[in-house]
Structure 1
């Protein structure tokens, strides 16, 4: 089972809002997930990011792989 930390799209059409979740890579983008770690809102200026750093570090230590976009968000936020 490959576990990924990825974005789950929420919000209305043309107004995206994302939640950072831990999910099995076989599940669909907006489908089942294991745990929610925070959220990301690119529509605000500047972009709004709220994360539970302890949970993120815990999941990475357990072997969860962040996607490229999530990795960039985590680096910008200072978690990685």
Structure 2
């Protein structure tokens, strides 16, 4: 089963997440099929791009039957409400 989820990167107490498409059996930071975006929860006013998702690829994987993790569902819902960069 294919899932869209967050993979954690960054230093201790300074997380940075990549939004990836992966098989459910792989661990959080393991092998992934495709990177479709990123999310930086520790953003400041200096950073303009703290969230970016390739919406066309997200829709493609959704059409293929991929499921979203709870956090990715929340991020996509928030992104659609607001006017973030939809690259």
TM-score, length of structure 1 as denominator length: 0.92
Structure 1 unaligned residues grouped into runs of 5+: none
Q: Would you identify which runs of 4 or more consecutive aligned residues in structure 1 move more than 3 Å?
A: none
Aligned-residue CA RMSD in angstroms? 1.6
For the pair shown, the structure with the greater C-alpha radius of gyration is 2
Q: Kindly indicate whether residue 8 of structure 2 is the aligned counterpart of residue 16 of structure 1.
A: no
Q: Kindly indicate whether residue 38 of structure 2 is the aligned counterpart of residue 36 of structure 1.
A: no
SS at match of 1:71: helix
Write 1 or 2 for the structure with the bigger share of strand.
1
SS at match of 2:4: strand
Query: 1:68: Cα distance to partner?
Result: 0.5
TM-score, length of structure 2 as denominator length: 0.85
Structure 2 unaligned residues grouped into runs of 5+: 82-87
The alignment of Structure 1 onto Structure 2 pairs a total of residues equal to: 78
